[in-house]
Structure 1
Amino acid sequence: MNMNKIFVHIGYPKSASTTLQKNVFEVHSEILNLGLFGTENIGKDTYNISNSNIYLNDSSLRNFYDTITSSHSIEYSKSNVLEQMQGIFKKYIMDCEGKKKATVFSHELLTSVNFSHPDIGLKATRIKEVFPNAKIIIVIRNQIDFLLSQYRDQPFDPRNFSCGRHVKPDKWIEIALKNDLPLLKSLKYNEVVKLYFELFSKDNVKVLHFEDLILDKHRFATDLSSFMNISLEETIDSLNKEKQNDGTTHYHNVFRRILRKYPIVFNISKNIPKNFLIPIKNTIERKMQRGRKARYSFNEFTIQTLKEYYKSSNVELNDLLDLKDYEY
């Protein structure tokens, strides 16, 4: 299997993954996109749906990602995954058009620990087994900004985002630190970068910065285009389009807090036919996504605690990448 033009974008979440997936990978003429195309982001999504997107139309591709990102070791079969990959390869990459393009696999659950298998190293090993010669794209973001963004989307007890009670930002971090949650450890980027350097070699791993996308889009586009050997002009044009996921709004978070506080709402809704309930739910959620973006901040003690927590990690990351232009 020729993997010379395979690129795997592993995230991070909260680091422009949706923008890359929808604005660049899906529309760039020199890319065959076999990556995630999100349709149910928590944030203020543009609701942009591509009816021709391969991920949305191919359940076998979705199952392939689910197996790599979420299955536990006892459920995982390397031979089955390789067989799945062979089918995907034959279906999309073997034809002449597919061979001409840079093929992208993209899914932020490869580095997320919240809603997938929490062992990033295990998932990296699986990627190596399936894509031994792939080139890896990683987008990282200042950890404090990352955590604020994550809190905005999930302002609930970080031990259980699905049904935990609402907590304030500083308490959220306090709980995460006290319980040594995987979310915090996953942002020790030096460990993840070193692992991918070891598995794929430094030349085959590109670490991009979320901050560049915000403050120096040309630099971000240049780094990405050079690494993928695709048109810079087209990449810049794609990145100049509307941001795809702008974070949840204040009203949406208030609405979710009410639902958590008064679960009777859920019990009542169970008795309503789905064909009637779903349109109502979608209408309410869209209305809640109007208005200003939810704004939060950590107090100075929390900020200093987090800086100390990531200090040694970022020192080593600087040795690996040279972070003098970034406040990590």
Structure 2
Amino acid sequence: MSTFVHIGLPKTATTSLQRNLFAQHPGVNHLGKPYQNEDFRALLKTIIACDEVMFEDVLARIKPCGHLLDSDKPTVISHERLSSDHDADRAVKARRLKAMFPDSRIILIVREQINCLESMYVQYLKGAPVKYPYCTFEEYLQAAWMRFHVDRDFGKEAYQKYMHVRVHNPLGRVHYKALLKSYLKHYAKDELLVLPFEQLKADPTFFLTKLSRFIGIDEETSVRLMTQQAPRQTRPSGIDIALKGSPLLLRLRGVASALLPQTAKKRLKAKLSRNISLDWPSTLSAKISDLYREPNRWLADEFSLPLMDLGYPI
């Protein structure tokens, strides 16, 4: 049977699809996250993360996994870092996937860039201040802007101002035209399925029907498996942001909790636990939207996607 590689993107319901659909559907030979075979995990990690100069040597140490693809069901391999700007170059990952799985087809889920950048910043905050230094949303965007424009000299002072922000290239990550062009060098257009994340939110049945027909699995089962799951809340609360941005508040939290009356604590927690809304600096919002207008028009035309109706910059 055919092999399908779901490459992400991150922040497009990837975990839900992995856990609730691909791993649970009786019509799928599931590989990838969540892993059920350690040898295949090593293979996929090597494709994703290994430096090109060491790739062949590392690959030679991994046990053959070809027998895992021998199934009367379609095989689905899923890992969002295949499309991420972490680890090996994304064009290299595309070439490796075609070489390792020559009969594979690709599934890519995209998300409106402005909303996706907000979601990536929220994910960044979840790792602060332990995994990453805390930064404001504006600092995150400014650092991302500089990393995207590597050909420009912003000056030493600007780089020093934002060097504490630990990002790779989030603006490049959501440049879908560039990513898909690298896959079109190895795959025919009809071997690529591109779906907008917004369609999954607005009309799960429509989205899951298209996905299921591409893979060749029962559509009703896909819809049932995905729609029976409760949606996860991903935005941190106001109190989370305040604590992450202030080590002093973090230290004082325990003291304040002990001193405040129970009724006062409940009122304060209810007020601060509302999900945050992120304010875009007006100049950055316009500049970043402009980055994606032409690439999004290409994407909409090439893959017949209603991106304008879904709010993408066009």
Q: Which bracket does the TM-score occupy, shorter chain normalised?
A: 0.7 to 0.9
Distance change (3 Å), C-alpha of 1:182 and 1:237: same
Per the alignment, residue 54 of structure 2 pairs with 75
Aligned mates of 2:57, 2:275 — CA distance in 1: 43
Quick check: which has more Rg, 1 or 2? 2
Distance change (3 Å), C-alpha of 1:243 and 1:143: farther
Per the alignment, residue 304 of structure 1 pairs with 286
Distance change (3 Å), C-alpha of 1:83 and 1:62: closer
Residue of 77, 91, 95 corresponding to 1:121: 91
Deviations 1:114-135 (A, max 9, x none): 4x33x11011111011011101
- Residue 112 of structure 1 pairs with residue 76 of structure 2: no
Displacement of 1:315: 2.2
> Following TM superposition, where does structure 1 have runs of at least 4 consecutive aligned residues deviating by more than 6 angstroms?
259-263
Mapping 1:21-40, distance limit 5 Å? 21-37=18-34
Displacement of 1:258: 5.3
RMSD (Å) for aligned C-alpha atoms = 2.9
Displacement of 1:80: 2.4
Displacement of 1:156: 9.1
| AA of the residue aligned to 1:211 | E
Mapping 1:256-271, distance limit 5 Å? 256-257=244-245
Per the alignment, residue 48 of structure 1 pairs with none
- Confirm or deny: 8 A CA contact 2:193 2:214 kept in the other structure: yes
Distance change (3 Å), C-alpha of 1:200 and 1:260: farther
Per the alignment, residue 10 of structure 1 pairs with 7
Displacement of 1:165: 2.9
- Confirm or deny: 8 A CA contact 1:19 1:244 kept in the other structure: no
How many residues are matched?
270
Distance change (3 Å), C-alpha of 1:220 and 1:76: same
Displacement of 1:167: 1.8
Distance change (3 Å), C-alpha of 1:237 and 1:249: same
Query: What secondary structure sits across from 2:305 in the alignment?
Result: coil
Which shows bigger deviation, 246-255 or 197-206? 246-255
- Residue 170 of structure 1 pairs with residue 138 of structure 2: yes
Per the alignment, residue 89 of structure 1 pairs with 66
- Confirm or deny: 8 A CA contact 1:249 1:293 kept in the other structure: yes
Query: What secondary structure sits across from 2:310 in the alignment?
Result: coil
- Confirm or deny: 8 A CA contact 2:46 2:58 kept in the other structure: no
Per the alignment, residue 233 of structure 2 pairs with 246
Distance change (3 Å), C-alpha of 1:252 and 1:130: farther
What is the TM-score of this pair, normalised by structure 1? 0.73
Aligned mates of 1:214, 1:81 — CA distance in 2: 42
Aligned mates of 2:248, 2:106 — CA distance in 1: 39
Aligned mates of 2:37, 2:100 — CA distance in 1: 19
Instruction: Specify every segment of 5 or more residues in structure 1 that has no aligned partner in the other structure, as ranges.
Output: 38-54, 264-290
Aligned mates of 1:101, 1:293 — CA distance in 2: 42
Per the alignment, residue 148 of structure 1 pairs with 118
Relative contact order: is structure 1 or structure 2 higher (C-alpha 8 Å, sep ≥ 6)? 1
- Confirm or deny: 8 A CA contact 1:15 1:210 kept in the other structure: yes
Aligned mates of 1:248, 1:65 — CA distance in 2: 30
Query: What secondary structure sits across from 1:100 in the alignment?
Result: coil
Instruction: Specify every segment of 5 or more residues in structure 2 that has no aligned partner in the other structure, as ranges.
Output: 149-167, 252-272
